[in-house]
Amino acid sequence: MTQAMSARPGVSVPRLQFLGRDLTASIVVFLVAMPLCMGIAIASGVPPEKGLITGIIGGIVVGALAGSPLQVSGPAAGLAVIVFELVRDQGFSALGPILILAGAIQVVAGVFRLGGWFRAISPAVVHGMLAGIGVLIVVGQFHVLFDAKPLSSGPANLAAMPGRLLGLSLSNMAAAELAFIVALVTIGAMLAWEKWRPAALRLMPGALVGVVAGTLLTVALGLDVAKVQVPASITAAISLPESGFWAKWLDPSVIAAAVAIAFIASAETLLSAAAVDKMHDGVRTDYNKELRAQGIGNLLCGAAGALPMTGVIVRSSANVQAGAITRASAILHGVWILGFVALLPWLLREIPMAALGAILVVTGWRLVSLTHAKHLLRDHGPLPVVIWAATLIMVVATDLLTGVLVGIGLTLLELAPHLRRLRLGVEEQPEGETHRIALDGTATFVTLPKLSATLDRVPAGKPVRLDVTRLAAVDHTTAELLRDWLQRRRASGTPVELLGGESGRLATLAH
């Protein structure tokens, strides 16, 4: 994996090298983002240009303000399901007020330095939520492969899937059959490219190759299938708040939706930022600054009538792997999206809807990570797996917010054995050339922000001695945090000595 370089004192990197690598990375991210922005918009039940506006704001505005310089923001699959339900139940006009309120909540959370608390959300809950969203995207976008619209709920979409396949007829090639062929070609081209792409073109995204293959097939054979509809001018896609805008904030359902979007978007963004930090040895994420930037971005998206945004791991990892060094890459990718939409809207109108649906089906499938469930079972026992599975099932069977709340509720079970002693003492002091940190008590998600702040204060490159001999217990959320921190320090070549980790989860940490 390519590691990004950072502009640190003592590291001399010519300005032109920054520009060259950031320019190249921005083009790669732009190619990844274009089909996903449109596909996620369609999965959200809104026109594709709404996703492109969010991508532009996420690149140019949030990229300039972000607390995670190499993270790329834009519309996220993780919010597609909740937006689809909001638009279906309350109408598109309610989305603007909801996003403005959600953005304001994020800004306030960042101002009051609450970013660390979002890191305390159990990884089992977050991955269970993403897996549930993945299932909903697959069963919903499956119908788009046949030029049909998704139904009103996950269970309804799932029940209708066999009928779509059984209704195909090779002797009567109508729109559904032709669209399905385009979708299969798109998926086949995407997966084949990702498996056998030449080394010289390793940064070319499979999603783009799949969309191009599906589009070329449609144009070459003149297939009569549904295509993307975008306005001739990007300004025509901006829908400013309507009259009666402020009155919607008096509706309890609007307030509840805003809180849900702010919570889920913030959690997904900050967990994505933590994952991006593992990929490079540059500047670490300022979580509160990132929250403020995301809040401003969602405020603008609400005012422009666009989709909500988060930090997105797919685009961010592409950014790091392409060699980005500074935030210029994220900003430039937003400029490229704006330029493409402004100058070449006719090209977007040649893309088949089935091709974008196919990309979303693959994206959704990859969100259902059984590997993470196996990791939880191996390292932390059955309870985190139960939390993961319960969150997934409730997201699919009910709704996103209910699933997350059920998962968080089950996480409280980990506190039950330690109710009499939830305190965590943290001592840190220099010992010669070594920075010593001693933990005393019980390390749970309740005390995770305190522990996280302590670990983040450790000077880069300084040897660390982590003393856990007096640590009575550690839950899986804190264990994951410690593991990631240890891996990152050791990967950077900094010695870390762990004292007292001879059994249980601490033994796993030691190795």
Q: Residue 13 corresponds to which tokens in the numbers above?
A: 């990197």
Q: Are 227 and 355 in contact (CB under 8 A)?
A: no
pLDDT score recorded for residue 504: 57
How many angstroms separate the CA atoms of 243 and 240, rounded?
Answer: 10
Residues of the chain with CATH 3.30.750.24: 424-510
How many angstroms separate the CA atoms of 125 and 400, rounded?
Answer: 11
**Is the Cα torsion angle 491, 492, 494, 499 positive or negative in sign?**
negative
Q: Give the angle 223-228-233 at the CA atoms, nearest 5°.
A: 135
How many angstroms separate the CA atoms of 345 and 343, rounded?
Answer: 6
Which regions in the chain score pLDDT beneath 70? 1-18, 501-511
Q: Give the angle 363-365-367 at the CA atoms, nearest 5°.
A: 75
Q: Are 481 and 469 in contact (CB under 8 A)?
A: no
pLDDT score recorded for residue 8: 39
pLDDT score recorded for residue 482: 87
Residue 510 corresponds to which amino acid? A
pLDDT score recorded for residue 272: 84
Q: Tokens 């330690």: give the residue.
A: 418
pLDDT score recorded for residue 335: 96
Residue 159 corresponds to which amino acid? A
How many angstroms separate the CA atoms of 376 and 386, rounded?
Answer: 10
Q: Is 424-510 in CATH node 3.30.750.24?
A: yes
Nearest to 285, CA basis, from 295, 298, 272, 296: 272
- DSSP of 285-335: P-HHHHHHHHHHHHHHHHHHT----EE-HHHHHHHHHTT--STHHHHHHHH
Q: Residue 104 corresponds to which tokens in the numbers above?
A: 């304001």
